[in-house]
Structure 1
Amino acid sequence: MQTANETMNQINIEQLNKDIGLFPQVHPVTEDMNITHAGVSRLVMLDRYAFKDTEKVTLTKGDFVVLTVKDDPKFPARGLGYIVSIDWQQAKAEVKVEPEFRSVLDKPEEVETGIINRKLDVIDKPLEVFYEQIAKRNATGLAAVETDEAKRQESFQQFYNELSNLNFIPAGRVLYGAGSETDVTYFNCYVMPFIQDSREGISDHRKQVMEIMSRGGGVGTNGSTLRPRNALARGVNGKSSGSVSWLDDIAKLTHLVEQGGSRRGAQMIMLADWHPDIVEFIISKMQNPRILRFLIENVDDEVIKQQAKAKLKFTPLSATERDMYQSIVNYKNVEGRGGFTDAAIADAQEKLDLGGNYDVHNSEFLTGANISVCLTNDFMDAVENDEMYDLRFPDVESYTKEEMKAYNEEWHESGDVREWADKGYKVRTYRRMKAKDLWNLINICATYSAEPGIFFIDNANDKTNATSYGHKVVATNPCGKVA
């Protein structure tokens, strides 16, 4: 297998520096540069953070490129290689993939030779192939705020010394953005304020999430201020589709927005344990039909059963399928079994016993985000003491005009039903359930689908110094969850 240094020897540095001359943001390769990193670190550096000729004005035969080596819609794989030939009319290129990235290729001849054909839009040419180039660009960008030229040069040198010696490595968005002269954010992740519970509020929140993600930032959202499913929306004389549906709409932005750089975005979406939609939220990303059936058959809580049934999809066997599975089972006692394994026969018998196949409805629901439950001390106390727990929300259906005005103006500033009740506003208890049932549901779903995570929001607010400035913790960004 080639090492990073061996690969670097194949790059025509003289020609690369000529190409770099077209891009004032990029610093040329010099003899003192030596940091290339290796393995995954090298790929991430080149794919995520290196400045690229995205318009491909310098792309030519022999160029070192980053590309999608496995073009899977859900799980694409990136790798490194060299341009063998380019068909500009078809907007395709033949690329020789480096050996360490060939294992994911589909065809044996591709694995052996490393030669693949890919569209140009999944191929990028990095102009920064040494980490020191990135460090120089970053140092230039960070020092640019100095108005005095001598001070700017001094700051550049100080930044560059720290960065190039790896004494300090900035966050990914800084590595990508600083000095690039692009409109990207220098912050990796953001937490949004609570959403105002209105169409306008949701639209404004969605717009801000989209803007942040388009500039490279990840976003954390707490949807607990959105009214629950079927709650009255008096302005349109209708009912709400519920918090979880609106949060799925926000999560879809991850699939829609291509970020600055080469990656998709990341979102964390949270809901409080007291919210009436919490059971739906917890089950919303369960992809395992067996666990959904287990919940239906083994839990006592009717709402949990109802939500599990709503997620579970059953497709009856067709006559042809029934005959096929029966034919497989009929070989059970036949010598040789017609080539069917014990596992195949057992699977066919199970299909016949069930009368069909179990799957899940809406398998893409909320897949644009990680989800976590905001756990309060009140809930954890109820779990520990095996008590009932109230799922509550402001009683918008009974509010007067004046109370509704206060709700529209103040509820999203609070975002906590306990605090809202303490202020004297009416709160409706939608239902009571055993706290342990909810806690067990979180654990079952987290065990078998890795979602939801948990976030101890009261603990976070007890320990943060943000309260000294009149602020509070609303949620975390995707980096801060507890899985």
Structure 2
Amino acid sequence: MLSYPESILSPASFDQPISEQIWRSKYQYVTGGRERDVTVNDTWRRVANSLAQAEKPADRQNVSLAFYEAMEGFKLLPAGRILAGTGTHRNVTLANTFVMQSIPDSVEGIMDTVKDAALTMQMGGGIGFDFSTIRPKGTLVQGLDCPAAGPLPAMDICNTVCGMLVTGMGRGAMMATMRVDHPDIEAFIEAKANPLRLRNFNTSVMITDKFMAAVEANADWDLIWEDQVIRTVKAREIWEKIMWRTYSAAEPGVLFIDRINEANPLGYLETLAATNSCAEQPLPPNGTCPLASINLARLVSDPFGPNARLDDAQLRRLVGVAVRMLDNAIDVSRFAVEAQRREALAKRRIGVGVTGVADALIMLGVRYGTPTAVRVVGGWLQTIQNAAYLASAELAAVRGAFPLYDAEKHMQGRGIQSLDVEVQAAIRKHGLRNGVLTTIAPTGTTSMFGGNVSSGIEPVFATSYTRKITRPDGTKAEELVQDYAVWLYYQMFGEDASLTDAFVTAQDLRPADHVRMQAVAQRWVDSGISKTVNCPEDIPFSVFEDVYRQAFEAGCKGCTTYRPNPVTGSVLSA
């Protein structure tokens, strides 16, 4: 075990009970009835020491200390798989996100994929599948002279397998995608109309630019299998079915798949057709990615004061530490399937993201969704993107570029060309250690662990709220918690202080406010963004439908909405 100066090891305290509860239930290492992590400092030390093992022996002490200091005070929040699994005896992966192999159109191929998926979920990975590769229902199965069952029964099999797997990392989660030109797309859209079906799946339709043009023109749309037109429908009919279904029950989501592939820094090596379970990480077949988030709410100096500002220097330093930490996580991690290991090592994809964005804005006196907020958040994410690429180039100078790096093709990428000139120069000189670098994941659990800061780039849900929780013994309970910015404000000014106008919540915002924030963030994020556009229950369908068009036109890679209704219910309640 590497050692640290005693001066930095005084036990950390939790700001709110919910944070300690999350730590104890999710991230504290307890084995054989013994608390290996007595305090949260022990968790940070365990993670730092373990990830530093990927370093040269002479560097491990200093790198471990840098990892520890970045996590201390909840500034850098590794994703849950890293916090819970690193440095333990548990046979788990350190990556949250996976996409399974392209599913072969055969019984043997489907069952092999299901087996690999089960092994991946058992190790703690959330997974995605593209079901577009399975022949549509009713088409002839060669050699058997019988009609195919289609993709949905294969989804049912995966759903059942997922339902039986409950690990120390929690219950598995999955994403199913299907191309909008697959002949079974209508059945896919309606697949979750039965609330008891596919409960372990999120679903998203892969929308192409050609389809969006056909919707606007009210043109015909061909549903195709193996280059043959099976049926022709109106594109707008498919679009309306997607919209009505998600208006009613928040699914399926929409992925603008052409944009996802065009913006992929590794587009010269792969084609993306699926995402992980929460859609923030488009991945190739067998793709995987470890995640971490910078907690911006902990980087604001003089919060709520006249000189409130985000510490850019500290932000850049933390991003550099996060890049190195996640690059090490690839080498330290276990993988359920050898193809996943090969893919991870060949491209060394990582996902540095953010959380606490809305709280940081509040501390600066900026209202979420306004033009000022768009400008400020865009600046923060541009800083993060440049810092991540510079750190990866510096790592490449020491460790070498990722094995499949093609300097000429990579430098032609739109994202690379938007980086600062000096960062491009460093990449040109050294290459890149990591093929993809930034992601904004949903950080619901880790953000609560980090002080109940606002999740990812989402707005504050409510200034205070009750959260439905499941205790370790399986019983349900509700707990009152405060948003971190609210808690801090009351600590500074007293419980009777009136909140400022910057304390906006999700319920106060228009859908367009959400879209603007997602769009500006997407400009400076390699991968995807997990973001929900909250809509009022009484929003007219025509206005709701337009939210998706706005997201497409604004440059988003996808869109997910939530409209309160009896079907969707709620995890949180104000």
The CA distance in 2 between the partners of 1:157 and 1:253, in whole Å, is 41
Give deviations 1:299-357, integer Å, cap 9, x for gaps: xxxxxxxxxxxxxxxxxxxxxxxxxxxxxxxxxxxxxxxxxxxxxxxxxxxxxxxxxxx
Q: CA deviation at 1:273?
A: 0.5
Aligned twin of 1:272: 179
Q: CA deviation at 1:31?
A: 7.4
The runs of 5 or more residues in structure 1 that have no matched partner are 1-23, 59-125, 288-362, 395-426
Please report the TM-score for the alignment, with normalisation by the length of structure 1: 0.54
Which AA in structure 2 matches 1:284?
A
Q: CA deviation at 1:236?
A: 2.5
Q: CA deviation at 1:286?
A: 1.3
Q: CA deviation at 1:38?
A: 2.1
Aligned twin of 2:538: none
Please report the TM-score for the alignment, with normalisation by the length of structure 2: 0.46
Shift in alpha-carbon separation, 1:38–1:435, aligned structure 2, 3 A: same
The runs of 5 or more residues in structure 2 that have no matched partner are 281-558, 561-574
Aligned twin of 1:170: 78
Q: Pick from 188, 194, 197: which aligns with 1:281?
A: 188
User: What are the equivalent positions in structure 2 for 1:378-393 lying under 5 Å apart?
Assistant: 378-393=210-225
Report the RMSD for the aligned CA atoms in angstroms. Answer: 2.4
Q: Pick from 196, 204, 211: which aligns with 2:112?
A: 204
SS at 1:466 equivalent? coil
The CA distance in 2 between the partners of 1:368 and 1:48, in whole Å, is 20
Does residue 437 of the first structure (1) align with residue 237 of the second (2)? yes
Alignment length (residue pairs)? 279
Ranges of 4+ aligned residues in structure 1 off by more than 4 Å: none
The CA distance in 1 between the partners of 2:74 and 2:196, in whole Å, is 41
The CA distance in 2 between the partners of 1:155 and 1:442, in whole Å, is 49
Shift in alpha-carbon separation, 1:381–1:31, aligned structure 2, 3 A: closer
SS at 2:200 equivalent? coil
Give deviations 1:191-211, integer Å, cap 9, x for gaps: 223211111211121111111
User: Structure with the greater relative contact order (CA < 8 A, sep ≥ 6): 1 or 2?
Assistant: 2
Q: CA deviation at 1:37?
A: 4.7
Q: CA deviation at 1:129?
A: 5.2
SS at 1:275 equivalent? coil
Q: Pick from 193, 204, 207: which aligns with 2:101?
A: 193
The CA distance in 2 between the partners of 1:41 and 1:224, in whole Å, is 41
Aligned twin of 1:151: 59
User: What are the equivalent positions in structure 2 for 1:341-360 lying under 5 Å apart?
Assistant: none
Identical counterparts, % of pairs: 31
The CA distance in 1 between the partners of 2:123 and 2:15, in whole Å, is 26
User: What are the equivalent positions in structure 2 for 1:38-77 lying under 5 Å apart?
Assistant: 38-53=16-31, 55-56=32-33
Q: Pick from 36, 47, 53: which aligns with 2:14?
A: 36
Aligned twin of 1:222: 130
The CA distance in 2 between the partners of 1:234 and 1:175, in whole Å, is 48
The CA distance in 2 between the partners of 1:434 and 1:460, in whole Å, is 25
Aligned twin of 1:473: 272
Does residue 446 of the first structure (1) align with residue 355 of the second (2)? no
Does residue 376 of the first structure (1) align with residue 217 of the second (2)? no
SS at 1:252 equivalent? helix
User: What are the equivalent positions in structure 2 for 1:71-470 lying under 5 Å apart?
Assistant: 127-128=36-37, 130-146=39-55, 148=57, 150-261=58-169, 263-287=170-194, 363-394=195-226, 427-468=227-268, 470=269
| C-alpha contact (below 8 Å) 2:9/2:41 kept by paired residues | no
The CA distance in 1 between the partners of 2:71 and 2:9, in whole Å, is 18
The CA distance in 2 between the partners of 1:387 and 1:158, in whole Å, is 57
| C-alpha contact (below 8 Å) 2:189/2:245 kept by paired residues | yes
Shift in alpha-carbon separation, 1:39–1:433, aligned structure 2, 3 A: farther
Which AA in structure 2 matches 1:140?
N
Q: CA deviation at 1:472?
A: 1.6
Shift in alpha-carbon separation, 1:364–1:191, aligned structure 2, 3 A: same
Q: CA deviation at 1:145?
A: 2.9
The CA distance in 2 between the partners of 1:270 and 1:244, in whole Å, is 11
The CA distance in 2 between the partners of 1:45 and 1:472, in whole Å, is 38
The CA distance in 1 between the partners of 2:273 and 2:167, in whole Å, is 24
| C-alpha contact (below 8 Å) 2:12/2:73 kept by paired residues | no
Q: CA deviation at 1:214?
A: 0.7
Q: CA deviation at 1:41?
A: 3.1
| C-alpha contact (below 8 Å) 1:224/1:275 kept by paired residues | yes
| C-alpha contact (below 8 Å) 1:390/1:432 kept by paired residues | yes
**Quick check: 183-192 or 252-261, which moved more?**
252-261
Give deviations 1:5-31, integer Å, cap 9, x for gaps: xxxxxxxxxxxxxxxxxxx99x9x997
| C-alpha contact (below 8 Å) 1:36/1:131 kept by paired residues | no
Computing the radius of gyration from Cα coordinates, the structure with the larger value is 1
SS at 1:154 equivalent? helix
Give deviations 1:182-233, integer Å, cap 9, x for gaps: 2211111112232111112111211111111111110011110000001111
Shift in alpha-carbon separation, 1:39–1:456, aligned structure 2, 3 A: farther
Give deviations 1:245-283, integer Å, cap 9, x for gaps: 11221122321112342x111111011100111111111
| C-alpha contact (below 8 Å) 1:217/1:265 kept by paired residues | yes
The CA distance in 2 between the partners of 1:227 and 1:193, in whole Å, is 16
Which AA in structure 1 matches 2:270?
H
